[in-house]
Amino acid sequence: MADVAIIGGTGLTRLEGLQTSGSESVETPFGPPSSALSHGILAGRDVVFLARHGAGHTLPPHKINYRANLWALKQTGVRAVIAVAAVGGIRQDMAPARLAVPDQIIDYTHSRSATFFEDDLTHVTHIDFTYPYDPALRQALVRACREARVDAVEDGTYGATQGPRLESAAEIARLERDGCTMVGMTGMPEAALARELELPYGACAVVANWAAGKTEGTISMASIEAYVRQGMDSVRLVLERLIPAI
């Protein structure tokens, strides 16, 4: 049984260094997850890997079946979930290719299936979401970054937007006024669903670009891809130290 699940986002549709032992197609009450679950060994530990956007990176953020993804991982018996995602940098220290370990999140998404608690209920269920990322897992991520000597921002507020388009400069200015330090499209409802399932959840964000309006000109997809590749090299170093420590 795998102890740790890794959800890979843009730039991480497969996990280098994972000694694969097999893949598993899982059915859930909410439909199929984004991809088959890859089982294997990483850094000496059993892990399971799921590609958030599908094996061929074909699922846009608003079409991801977040409920099926988290439900499938819960069924495997994992005890922690590490989410890797690309983000845009808003705060001055969120430069492209840096990693960030967010400690807060603000949800700007809409029309997504965002809870398990909505049908055939015997009572209404509320979850505490004061600290959306598991504190112990977050600290383990921070320590792993330090041990790997990876340049990482150790806090920050993730602004989750609908996508798939990038944001306007005015929207980024609003997010910044709200206190967001980075912007992405997949952080919610993923974090909340993990909390509903009582799965400890931590996020490792790769800054892929400066958010709209933070630099002159428009955002280049070619530069995003280059920074994501660079950042993912750091993610792999961090995972190698994080996995044995969980």
Please state the domain count of the chain: 1
This prediction's pTM: 0.94
98-117 per-residue burial string, b: 16 or more CB within 10 A, e: under 16: bbbbbbbbbbbbeebebebe
pLDDT in tens, 180-199: 999 999 999 999 999 999 99
When pLDDT is averaged across residues 66-86 and rounded to a whole number, the result is 96
3-state class (DSSP) for residue 201: strand
- 198, part of any domain: yes
pLDDT band at 10 (very low <50, low <70, confident <90, very high): low
Output the pLDDT for position 12. 61
Determine the structural domain holding residue 10 and report its residue range.
4-116+128-245
- 122, part of any domain: no
- 67, part of any domain: yes
- 85, part of any domain: yes
Query: Do the strands 157-160 and 104-107 form a parallel or antiparallel pair, or are they unpaired?
Result: parallel
Output the pLDDT for position 124. 84
Q: What is the CATH number of the domain that holds 93?
A: 3.40.50.1580
Who contacts 35 (Cβ-Cβ below 8 Å, separation ≥6)? Answer: 50, 51, 54, 55
- 121, part of any domain: no
- 162, part of any domain: yes
- 237, part of any domain: yes
- 153, part of any domain: yes
Higher pLDDT, 78 or 1: 78
pLDDT in tens, 36-72: 999 988 888 889 999 999 988 899 999 999 999 999 9
